[in-house]
Amino acid sequence: MRRLLCLLLLVLALPATAAGLLDSRPSSTLGSINNSADFLPVREAFQLSLVESTPQSIKLRFVATEGYYLYRHRFQFRADPADVTLGPAQLPKGEQKHDEYFGDVEVYHGVLDVELPRTDPRAFTLAVTYQGCADKGLCYPPETERLSINGDGASTGHDRGWRELALFFLAGLGLTFTPCVLPMLPILSGVVLRGQVGGLRGFNLSLAYVLPMAACFALLGALMGMFGAQLNLQARLQSAWVLVPFAMFFAVFALAMFGVFELKLPHAISSRLDRIAGRTEGGSLWGAAVLGVVSSLLVSPCVSAPLAGALLYISASGDALGGGLKLFMLGLGMGAPLLLVATGGAAWLPKSGPWLIYVKNAIGVLLLGLAIGLLSRVLPGQITLLLIGLLAGGVGLFMGALEFVYKPPRKRLGQLLGMFLLFYALACWYGGFSGQSDPFNPIGQSRTVATAEQAPNTSAWQTVSTPADLDRALAEARSSGTPLLLDWYADWCISCKVIEHEVLNDATVVERLKGYRLIRFDITASNAEQRTLLDRYKLFGPPALMFFGKDGIERADVRVIGEINATDFAERVAKANDRI
């Protein structure tokens, strides 16, 4: 039972570190031109979070992924109910961007903090509208997100912050139940307390040890948060150049948890710290404090790998204050069992045993899961699914899935779970090799793309703005055996203007499009009805150019997403003509 409790604490705790890293799933490719896989869904390209809500103001944070930017003039902030008053948004000056069709605009790259003055203490819903584009030439329709603001000034962001602090405390507590730490508690308590167990004196001595240790962790967390903010890692965390090294670090930390090697300070530093600890006398508040500081630097191999992973996560968050608080709570969690020992509650702690190895291995598995989660942002979905299957299969074999010998009931339960993981691994491998990418549905329906023959005739551009009109145009083209080119357009889309004036009017393009019916879908209004079409065709926004054959089926392999020049598009039309 104690073993299950410890594992449960770890499973609950480590997702806190994963949340900031894995809450988005970017493209499944590293960058083929004019492919929808090159672009992120709007809420992954632009991540909005509620940083702080007080009775006086609301602070929001936008993080534009590297290669994307937000328009300053497209922000809107509305309260629901409408009679809740908000002051004008405090927006910093943006970067100047000139466009020959739209003139001068201001845009924001990276992290943007927005402050909204607040005078009304009532609870309300804040509707935040924003719009941005990708540097590669894709413009997203205006997006609206709704945030709940509580009446007392507290926010869902704060709630999440307290939950994360609690989970870091549980993670610290869970790290105590590893084979490198738990057996050391009696020795440590003997050095710190010097026999003064129980009562106020024992509690004060242990607290004098725990608080400086947690404070050192907090300092590390704050420095890493500041370091991450300066490098803008939160925005850069979609780049393979950042994600791959992070994933490798987590994999190395996992190997350390499996006992492949030990993470230690250099001998020259650790020996000096050992000498300081040796000269420090326990039994006094000052001596306990010095031991706490030294022990925070001499963390055991079981603690150093997860601690290093937490530091990497905090550096990616770019939050110095939050990082300091999180690691402070981690230190308090690690020191809580010592406080229990100091006050005479040692009998409440579980006894050392082989189960400690399972806790250590479980941490290693979770670190490998984090590494795969990071790599999933830059690897194709099928490869990610294969890696997930590899991890699940390895854990299943470790749990004895194929050991068909007599086992006691508890081990049989573990073997049953191992067999389930092994079957799941086989499903992931089958799905990965079949072109699937969803770990929650590894065996799905494979999508096939039909191909067809060739094309000629039709004329000038016809503009439509409703799904019904577009379906009608597609049906007419199919019934008449005419190929069709569909251009996705919006007045607020700079790249759409470029394509309209410089690409579709090019003489070579016009010549090669002879015989096509030319339809332009105007998504300027960006209403709910029009957005359903974006979902239907798996588009994030304009511009996009889609070729439909005489049979009315799209030739997805020649689809154009984002901006393209006239020469490349003429080649794309020629390629489409060979397939129509």
- State the DSSP string of 231-244: HTHHHHTTSHHHHH
Residue 114 has φ and ψ, to the nearest 5°, of -120, 135
Model confidence at 236, pLDDT cuts 50, 70, 90, reads: low
Nearest Cα to Cα of residue 278 among 265, 290, 267, 266: 290
Gap between the Cα atoms of 205 and 340, Å rounded: 12
Share of the chain above pLDDT 70, in %: 73
At 268 the pLDDT is 62
The topology under which CATH files domain 462-579 is: Glutaredoxin (3.40.30)
At 21 the pLDDT is 41
Highest averaged pLDDT of the listed ranges 53-62, 101-110, 220-229: 53-62
Lowest mean pLDDT among 119-123, 353-357, 487-491: 353-357
Q: Is the pTM of this model over 0.85?
A: no
- Residue bearing the bigger pLDDT, 415 or 162: 415
Q: Most distant CA pair in the chain: distance in Å?
A: 95
At 4 the pLDDT is 35
Summarised one tens digit per residue, pLDDT across range 350-405 is 676 677 788 788 888 888 988 898 788 778 888 989 999 999 999 998 888 888 77
- Residue bearing the bigger pLDDT, 7 or 424: 424
Q: Which H or E element spans position 194?
A: none
At 274 the pLDDT is 60
At 513 the pLDDT is 92
Gap between the Cα atoms of 580 and 578, Å rounded: 6
Gap between the Cα atoms of 389 and 430, Å rounded: 9
At 299 the pLDDT is 66
Model confidence at 457, pLDDT cuts 50, 70, 90, reads: very low
* DSSP letter (8 states) at residue 446: P
Give the CA angle between residues 449, 36, 462 to the nearest 5°: 80
Summarised one tens digit per residue, pLDDT across range 348-360 is 666 766 777 887 8
Model confidence at 22, pLDDT cuts 50, 70, 90, reads: very low
Q: In this structure, how many other beta carbons lie within 10 angstroms of the beta carbon of residue 521?
A: 24
Gap between the Cα atoms of 462 and 518, Å rounded: 6
Question: By the 8 A CB rule, do 8 and 173 touch?
Answer: no
At 270 the pLDDT is 60
- Residue bearing the bigger pLDDT, 282 or 54: 54
**What is the DSSP secondary-structure string of 31-45?**
--TT-GGGS--HHHH
pLDDT at 446 over 50: no
- Total residues found in the chain within this entry: 580
Gap between the Cα atoms of 557 and 547, Å rounded: 9
Lowest mean pLDDT among 41-55, 134-148, 249-263, 525-539: 249-263
For 535, residues 6+ apart whose C-beta sits below 8 A from its C-beta are: none
Q: If you average pLDDT over residues 416-425, what whole number do you get?
A: 91
At 37 the pLDDT is 59
- Residue bearing the bigger pLDDT, 5 or 300: 300
As a whole number, the mean pLDDT across the chain is: 77
H helix count then E strand count, the chain = 19, 16
Question: By the 8 A CB rule, do 39 and 138 touch?
Answer: yes
At 67 the pLDDT is 84
pLDDT at 463 over 90: yes
Give the CA angle between residues 158, 161, 165 to the nearest 5°: 140
Gap between the Cα atoms of 545 and 532, Å rounded: 17
Domain segments of the chain: what residues?
Answer: 38-154, 159-377, 379-447, 462-579
pLDDT at 450 over 60: no
At 427 the pLDDT is 92
At 283 the pLDDT is 53
At 472 the pLDDT is 93
Model confidence at 297, pLDDT cuts 50, 70, 90, reads: low
Q: If you average pLDDT over residues 207-234, what whole number do you get?
A: 76
At 271 the pLDDT is 66
At 18 the pLDDT is 43
Question: By the 8 A CB rule, do 517 and 485 touch?
Answer: yes
At 488 the pLDDT is 93
Summarised one tens digit per residue, pLDDT across range 423-440 is 999 999 998 898 887 888
**Domain spanning 38-154, CATH class:** mainly beta
Question: By the 8 A CB rule, do 27 and 68 touch?
Answer: no
